[in-house]
Structure 1
Amino acid sequence: MTMAIKRKRNSELNEAKTDRISDLPDCILSHILSFLPTKVAISTSVLSKRWKPLPLSLTTIDLDDTSFCFRDQPQFSFVTFVYRIFLLRPLDVPVKTFRLKCETSYGHDVDAWIRGAIQRKAERLDITVPATVSGLGLWSVVFNCEWLVELRLMSVFEMIRGISSPVNLPSLKILRLEGVRFSDYKCFFNVLAGCTNLQHLVLKDLAFFYANHNSESYLSFMMNLEKLKIFHYPHPIPTFNNLVHMELNILNYNWDLITKMLQNSPKLESLVILKGTPCLNTTCVFHIKDLNSETLLKVKSGWDRGLESKGRKWKKNV
């Protein structure tokens, strides 16, 4: 082997050993780490001194208590971990996204964590918890966060109550409420009325302690929506001038309702109709060009022949 070949090979080996990732700017490294669960991202701080301060500047905090090994003390390791994240992180370092998923109830600790995220200007909140003991204090903060762009609350079975003052969410574009319990319809309406620029709305499995609702349509607050998913809706249908995508999930088809939705959605481009349970769905997907009553009759005829009983997915381009 000639000296030139040896030098070339040694050069290639040295180049292969070079840590190119660590040479990247902090902003790029932090962006890469933001795609990892926060527990994993923080573990990179042991790699070298270069990586040690990076977790403190993460723009996404993604927490899941199932990633912790619960033994004799099922809560303390996770609770301590979350509080350390907020205590070590300066208030002037913003959090873009705060995602919290828990299988264990942490009571008022959840309130404190959400407040900590909002104090750090979180634009996206994604909260999945089995129960909270939240009262007026927390919700008055969440529902008056002027910079919040996306809010997802799932499985929050403790009642959201006491929202009698105006809700102010002028920047909110995406709202998903699933398994959320409200004290009454007025409280629920106040939330929707404060989302003046909402574009994407998902409502599923909501519960109301006092069923004192009237015939007022909560979708009347949402007429500028661009995307909508409906799982059950007994009220009159308003006109959606900006709606381009709609999903209907219903147990028994009401073709008059579907026709009315189409008539009141002049810019609709795609329609998804789901029938049945989550484990056995029949799906009809339409790309809207000229959907008329004759087409709906054909679709109804197709289901009447028993397509849904076979659990088949049926797609149709119109």
Structure 2
Amino acid sequence: MGSNSRCCKPCIGDRISGLPDAILSHILSFLTTEDAVKTSVLSHRWFDVWTSVPKINLTLGSQAAFEPFAQFVDCVLFFRGSSNIHTFQLRCSVIEEDFCRIDPWIYTAVRRNVVEFEFNLDVDVDSKSHRYEGYELPRRLLMCNTLEVLKLTLNHKDIIINPPSDCFPSLKFLHVTLQYPGGRSLEKLLTCCPVLEDLIIEGHLKDDSVVNINVSARKLKRLRMRLSMDLVRWDEGDYKMLE
């Protein structure tokens, strides 16, 4: 038979593993950090690819144990070494005694020149003492020169913000999700964002809550608000600041 009738043998080579580290790292950035770490067992080629992923995405649900999660985060940050962290996303359910474990994680992100930081802290109500004051965002984060994007979920007294006058020197995009009431922390946050250009405020409020939002940002170009209540929903607004 002629050569044209021969069956072509399928190519079974591992083309993905042959890609450059930069491309593999980009692919893994679409996964959670937990799933990215799991790829280290695929082969020797994949052993440490996850350590160069510029995005860390860490989530702990309310039903999961905090200590194994904390140990995992410690290991992830340790084995990454000195590589930069472009995006750091942390969502976790904790008790008040766990606050001391969170500070070192944020400090590491700041030292690694974090550009985007997302933080959602859910504190177990039953763990709050009679002297409960909430978790205060570290001053190192507020003063971070590389931080340009900040996404925060402000729960009732769970996150405290005491910004100095010269905080967030490079912050251009702020996305705040309010969970009743949260307004006081937001008001403090908006007092010192000198180069803020884009602001999103959204969330769910109780029908008897009152939130006063005073936005003072000289370089603000765009403001978007989307707030809902138990009985009334505010229409979404998309406003563009005039020169």
Q: Same fold (TM over 0.5)?
A: yes
Paired with 2:87 and 2:182, the residues of 1 have a C-alpha distance of 28
- Residue 65 (str. 1) matches residue 65 (str. 2): no
Q: 1:151 deviation in Å? A: 0.7
Normalised to the residue count of structure 1, the TM-score between the two structures is 0.59
Paired with 1:287 and 1:222, the residues of 2 have a C-alpha distance of 14
Secondary structure, aligned partner of 2:44 = coil
Paired with 1:49 and 1:19, the residues of 2 have a C-alpha distance of 13
- Residue 35 (str. 1) matches residue 30 (str. 2): yes
Paired with 1:159 and 1:103, the residues of 2 have a C-alpha distance of 13
- Give the match for residue 89 of structure 2: 99
Please show how residues 200-215 of structure 1 align to structure 2 within 5 Å. 200-204=198-202
- Give the match for residue 127 of structure 1: 119
Which of 62, 67, 77 aligns to 1:76? It is: 67
Which of 195, 199, 218 aligns to 2:214? It is: 218
Residue 205 to residue 98, structure 1, CA distance change in 2 (3 Å): same
- Give the match for residue 190 of structure 2: 192
Residue 153 to residue 276, structure 1, CA distance change in 2 (3 Å): same
Q: 1:189 deviation in Å? A: 5.5
Normalised to the residue count of structure 2, the TM-score between the two structures is 0.76
1:99 partner amino acid: Q
2:86 partner amino acid: K
Q: 1:162 deviation in Å? A: 4.2
Structure (1 or 2) with the greater helix fraction: 1
Please show how residues 104-253 of structure 1 align to structure 2 within 5 Å. 104-105=94-95, 106-131=98-123, 133-135=134-136, 138-156=137-155, 157-163=157-163, 165-179=164-178, 191-204=189-202, 218-219=214-215, 221-230=216-225, 249=227
Residue 199 to residue 284, structure 1, CA distance change in 2 (3 Å): closer
- Asked whether the 8 Å contact 1:167–1:190 carries over to 2, the reply is no
1:79 partner amino acid: A
1:179 partner amino acid: L
Q: Point out where structure 2 has 5 or more consecutive residues left out of the alignment.
A: 124-132, 206-211
Q: 1:89 deviation in Å? A: 1.3
- Asked whether the 8 Å contact 1:139–1:160 carries over to 2, the reply is no
- Give the match for residue 80 of structure 2: 89
2:197 partner amino acid: Q
Residue 87 to residue 250, structure 1, CA distance change in 2 (3 Å): closer
- Asked whether the 8 Å contact 1:111–1:134 carries over to 2, the reply is no
Secondary structure, aligned partner of 1:129 = strand
- Asked whether the 8 Å contact 1:147–1:169 carries over to 2, the reply is no
Residue 182 to residue 222, structure 1, CA distance change in 2 (3 Å): farther
1:198 partner amino acid: L
- Quote the sequence identity (%): 27
Residue 194 to residue 287, structure 1, CA distance change in 2 (3 Å): closer
Q: 1:166 deviation in Å? A: 1.8
Please show how residues 300-315 of structure 1 align to structure 2 within 5 Å. none
- Is the radius of gyration larger for structure 1 or structure 2? 1
- Give the match for residue 234 of structure 1: none
Q: Deviations over 1:74-108 (max 9, x none)?
A: 222211111100111112x0000001111334322
Residue 151 to residue 284, structure 1, CA distance change in 2 (3 Å): closer
Q: Deviations over 1:7-40 (max 9, x none)?
A: x512xx1xx3111111111011101100111111
2:69 partner amino acid: F
Q: Deviations over 1:282-316 (max 9, x none)?
A: x588999xxxxxxxxxxxxxxxxxxxxxxxxxxxx
Residue 49 to residue 120, structure 1, CA distance change in 2 (3 Å): same
Secondary structure, aligned partner of 1:23 = coil
- Asked whether the 8 Å contact 1:31–1:58 carries over to 2, the reply is yes
